[in-house]
Amino acid sequence: MTETRKKVFIKTYGCQMNVYDSERMGDVLAGLGYGVTETADEADLVILNTCHIREKAAEKVYSELGRYREQKRARARDGKPLVIGVAGCVAQAEGEEIVRRAPMVDLVFGPQTYHRLPHLLTRFAEQGRPVVETDFPAEDKFDHMPTTPHAGGRRAVTAFLTVQEGCDKFCTFCVVPYTRGAEASRPVRKIIEDARRMVDQGVREITLLGQNINAYRGEAPDGRRWSLGRLINELSAIEGLARLRYTTSHPRDMDDELIAAHRDNPKLMPYLHLPVQSGSDAVLKAMNRRHTAASYLEIIGKIRAGRPDIALSSDFIVGFPGETERDFEATMALVEAVGYASAFSFKYSPRPGTPAAEMDNQVPEPVKAERLTRLQALLNSQNRAFLASCVGREMDILIEKPGRKAGQLAGRSPYLQAVHVEDAHHSIGDMVRVCIDSVGGSSLSAHIIPSGADSPVHAKATA
């Protein structure tokens, strides 16, 4: 085995897509002799894989870069150069501006060019000046990137798999269409090949990723276009794959075939993240969401009719330009009507270059903060109620890693909750039947139901 000569530290911000991309960058760099390290102090190459969704994302990146300035200088004095790269959506949006403001940066590359890292590093070494690459290349980056599940050195039993990228919805608050590009779906054949490779390597649960994943329309071998629902049903036939999940979806693309997959496919977990953003039709129109509160609730009704035990999650933005107290109360009413297991909620913050940033009637910061506090109090109470409702229930968990204590194992419920069990007989990758005993923070404690104590039950009825 060739000894690793160099180390790379990759710091990941934001969404699960970025987590996936960071892992793929590690795979690509492994071919150049780089091993991944958990500390920047050991690294020969530092990459910040950035996200542009949150407030003041670019400024946070520049602040982080400032921490590496002296480290880079010290390494140069010792004759051990440190290469610094900025990747992801902030890199795509800022481009050359990053090098202008932070001259210590050597590489700037967008989300579509990770597979070109060997070429970018070679260019930098040859020309001795920063390399900026933020074009959208014609080739499919996934053709050039290995797919290897990671688990911090352990056998990985869960993995992410990107099936779709980009977004054509152009919500007025969002930069994703500008940083990730137009909606593009990977071919069915390539996805199935990647999934089978993952399962052969020990993966038992795959989460399908996309900026707007339920807009998936990938080309099948016969030239037809498959929906996400059909893709999920095909993937579920892979022997050894126990569970499937997907994120993130848009209400406008929640079609009947995908809803039917939730109803009929026991490998598709009963957990759905379906962002609504607001309960006010006026605000939704200003956001260019192209759905209404009523149409969203209709979708929820259809899903629950087929899968009554499904747990729902969502995203909310409060204080969008022009939002009135009446608009905000409509959001609170929608939350009450749905009853979420979990949710993400944020104050609106302007993103440069988006239409909403130029809108009149920007909501004062104290008003946004007060509304967010009220919304989060309601969402937190619903989350606590959902967790409490799990106590006493039986469910299957997938063992992912050792627990925090000796003799303890940790896994995930069908609803993505962390579950801890006292058990010395099962192994990572096993699916075990448990009964939930208690709630601790956001995790659950459970005990194993002895084999044979209960007959197998359809996952839809037991999750």
Q: How confident is the model at residue 462 (pLDDT cuts 50, 70, 90)?
A: very low
- Average model confidence (pLDDT) across the chain: 89
Tell me the residue ranges of DSSP E strands in 6-154.
Answer: 6-12, 34-36, 45-50, 83-87, 107-109, 131-133
Identify the bridge partners of residue 447 per DSSP, sorted by sequence position.
435
pLDDT digits (tens, 9 = 90+) for 190-207: 999 999 999 999 999 999
Q: How confident is the model at residue 353 (pLDDT cuts 50, 70, 90)?
A: confident
Return the minimum-mean-pLDDT range out of 15-29, 165-179, 417-431. 15-29
In 3D space, the residue among 237, 20, 191, 209 whose CA is nearest the CA of residue 114 turns out to be 20
The pLDDT of residue 55 is: 61
Give the side-chain half-sphere CA count within 13 A for 120.
26
Torsion, CA 12, CA 15, CA 21, CA 25, rounded to 10: 0
Tokens of 50: 């950035």
- Report whether pLDDT(384) > 90: yes
Alpha helix locations (H) across 236-346?
256-264, 281-286, 293-306, 325-338
- Report whether pLDDT(74) > 80: yes
Angle made by CA atoms 449, 452, 454, in degrees to the nearest 5: 65
From residue 387, alpha-carbon distances to 300, 302, 441 in Å are 20, 24, 9
Residue partners of 253: CB distance under 8 A and separation at least 6 = 212, 214, 215
From residue 201, alpha-carbon distances to 9, 96, 204, 244 in Å are 24, 40, 9, 16
pLDDT digits (tens, 9 = 90+) for 317-334: 999 999 999 999 999 999
Residue partners of 177: CB distance under 8 A and separation at least 6 = 166, 167, 168, 169, 170
Tell me the residue ranges of DSSP E strands in 110-269.
Answer: 131-133, 158-162, 164-165, 184-185, 205-209, 218-219, 225-226, 243-247
Q: Around Cβ 262, how many Cβ atoms within 10 Å?
A: 22
**Tokens 């795959």 label which residue?**
206
Torsion, CA 94, CA 96, CA 97, CA 101, rounded to 10: 130
Return the minimum-mean-pLDDT range out of 2-16, 75-89, 190-204, 228-242. 2-16
In 3D space, the residue among 236, 246, 235, 257 whose CA is nearest the CA of residue 211 turns out to be 246
Residue 182 dihedral angles phi and psi, to the nearest 5°: -70, 160
Q: How confident is the model at residue 452 (pLDDT cuts 50, 70, 90)?
A: low
In 3D space, the residue among 25, 28, 183, 191 whose CA is nearest the CA of residue 110 turns out to be 25
- Report whether pLDDT(4) > 80: no
Taking residues 62-76, report their average pLDDT: 87
Tokens of 415: 């609803």
The pLDDT of residue 173 is: 93
Tokens of 382: 């619903």
Taking residues 73-97, report their average pLDDT: 88
Taking residues 227-244, report their average pLDDT: 98
The pLDDT of residue 455 is: 37
Q: Determine the angle formed by the axes of helices 256-264 and 228-235, rounding to 10 degrees.
A: 30
DSSP 430-444: -EEEEEEEEEETTEE
Measured CA to CA, the distance from residue 355 to residue 74 in angstroms comes to 44
Taking residues 213-235, report their average pLDDT: 96
- Report whether pLDDT(152) > 50: no
Contact 167, 177 (CB under 8 A): yes
Q: Around Cβ 221, how many Cβ atoms within 10 Å?
A: 9
Give the side-chain half-sphere CA count within 13 A for 33.
7
The distance of Cα 395 from the centroid of its chain, to the nearest Å, equals 24
Measured CA to CA, the distance from residue 258 to residue 251 in angstroms comes to 12
The pLDDT of residue 460 is: 36
Measured CA to CA, the distance from residue 218 to residue 381 in angstroms comes to 40
The pLDDT of residue 155 is: 60
